[in-house]
Structure 1
Amino acid sequence: MRWIRVAVALCLVAALGVSSFLGFAPFAVAAGLVVLALAYGWPRLTDSPQPRATSLMLLVLGFVGLATVWLAPGPPYLEWLPLVTGVGLLWAFVQNLARGVGASHAVVNLSAQVAGLVITLSAASWLGAILLPGDKEAVIVGLVALILAQAATALPWPDRYTSPLALLVAVVGAGVAGALIPDGSLDLWAAPALGGVMGLLVAAIDRMLGTIAGSRYQATAVRRDRRRDKARRLAVQTALGATPIAVGGIVVYVLERILMFR
């Protein structure tokens, strides 16, 4: 089912890429789709003992994060996200306390929830990037690099082959995309450099989260029937497809901030 992550990533990349030409409101909707995908998939990826409550937390605070960027009066647009993260940390802590003092794996579950919250809120950085002045070439180039690297990591080969391949295709794809955009803000080296960062990001996330997903599945397969197992695999692949898209927004935002002061 590894192809599902590529399908999810392709849908999200297409939504973000097309909506970037349609205005801020459609782009915000596309970023909301990233939040939805993570809210659904992340608790199942980490095998949360409270999947519905965790999904609710990620969904609510993810949309709150998008709203804070939307309503920000001016750059840097992301100044309220640390506060939203703090609220999420308190929410996750109280949610775990509700399980009882003797609940198992409380620290692991809390850490997974906070990590999921930070990744989900990263989707708001796409809104910050699109609001910054500039031609938004970095948005398109970054999205191209992300989907190519995602496709490479989904190949049924060992990680020692797919990770370098993801880096290579991201660099080449970003370079080609940057060259095809007329009068863009990225020079001959900036676009491949952005592709390299995106390729490394996708490869690292694939190796980290892929290992987590495999170990979680082996630990819980004995107590899952076939129908629930298929649903969980779908959710896991959804999270694996959406996570690099969300985190990639931070890279694009930082680059757009750098270009703004050139």
Structure 2
Amino acid sequence: MKTWIGGAAAAGIGVVGTAALVASSLGGPFAQAAVAVVLSIAAGLCWPTFLGIPAKRTNGIILALAGAAAGLSAAAVKGPEYLEWTPAVVAVGIMAVIVVQLLRGTGQSHRLESTLGASAGVLLCSLGAGWIATARFTGMGSMLLVAGISTAVALLVGAINWPDTIVAPLAIVFAGLAAPLAALVLTDVAVIPATATGALIGAVLAAVRRLNRTRSRPMPRTGLVALALGPVLAVGSLAYFIDKLLIY
């Protein structure tokens, strides 16, 4: 699959996933957690294929379970620290990844790459709990909506088949502009925190786009799911911590 076609497809999947995470918050934390769990499972199972690491099935199951556990814990915890259990989930997930590599035995290929890649996948899938934490912290009509709109804008700009030197600044600028506009029209979030959120989201998604375009081998179809949903999940925790640092 050509790089630009894969990027456009991943952008579409990411926008749909983002919309589902934002819209499901209207049904409450457990409804949103259900969506986050589904997306985390999809991203987790496909992440090893995206990286091309060994023990794909086992690592994928670990990533999926980590994302599901983090999402459910964010919905169930009383608060006010809604990501209280996320670090523990990440730690257990990384330990499970290391155990898998130990069980593979010595002399196996790409053990270090597999460990680092799968550990990064555990982190990304677990950070999806941030979408639930953001919704519970300030409600649907606040930072959650700003982050969702910024993410969608950055993904759509990233789908343009132009060089990274052009698209990356455009993604940061447009996401940074969309966020305060959404804040002024649709929410009560201040302009400065909204702008910071949008710009950071644009930078994260532009970096992931660059990572994809440096691949030397074709992208597997299932890898597109991980490419699309991994950074989208991570954006949720980014919005949550910015919300806590700059607004409250």
The two structures have a TM-score, normalised by structure 2, of: 0.90
Aligned to 1:130: 135
Residue 220 of structure 2, aligned match among 218, 228, 233: 233
1:134 CA drift (Å)? 4.9
Moved more, 62-71 or 104-113: 62-71
1:247 CA drift (Å)? 1.2
Query: Structure 2: which 5+ residue stretches go unaligned?
Result: 1-5
- Structure 2: distance between partners of 1:135 and 1:156: 33
Aligned to 1:24: 29
Aligned to 1:207: 210
- Structure 1: distance between partners of 2:160 and 2:189: 30
- Structure 1: distance between partners of 2:191 and 2:123: 33
- Residue 244 (1) aligns with residue 247 (2): no
Residue 191 of structure 1, aligned match among 186, 190, 194: 194
Asked whether the 8 Å contact 2:25–2:140 carries over to 1, the reply is no
Letter in 2 for 1:142: A
- Residue 178 (1) aligns with residue 183 (2): yes
Asked whether the 8 Å contact 1:132–1:260 carries over to 2, the reply is no
- Structure 2: distance between partners of 1:105 and 1:63: 27
1:27 CA drift (Å)? 1.2
Query: Structure 1: which 5+ residue stretches go unaligned?
Result: 219-231
Letter in 2 for 1:138: M
Aligned to 1:225: none
Give deviations 1:199-242, integer Å, cap 9, x for gaps.
Answer: 1111122223442xx13x26xxxxxxxxxxxxx52222211211
Residue 153 of structure 1, aligned match among 136, 155, 158: 158
- Structure 2: distance between partners of 1:139 and 1:133: 8
1:244 CA drift (Å)? 1.9
- Structure 2: distance between partners of 1:79 and 1:104: 36
Structure of larger gyration radius:
1
Asked whether the 8 Å contact 2:54–2:110 carries over to 1, the reply is no
Give me the CA root mean square deviation: 1.8
Letter in 2 for 1:239: A
1:176 CA drift (Å)? 2.2
Letter in 2 for 1:236: G
1:36 CA drift (Å)? 2.3
- Structure 1: distance between partners of 2:178 and 2:69: 34
Q: Percent identity?
A: 26
The two structures have a TM-score, normalised by structure 1, of: 0.86
Give deviations 1:5-34, integer Å, cap 9, x for gaps.
Answer: 112111111101211223222211221232
Number of residue pairs aligned between Structure 1 and Structure 2:
243
| Runs ≥4 residues deviating over 6 A | none
- Structure 2: distance between partners of 1:71 and 1:22: 14
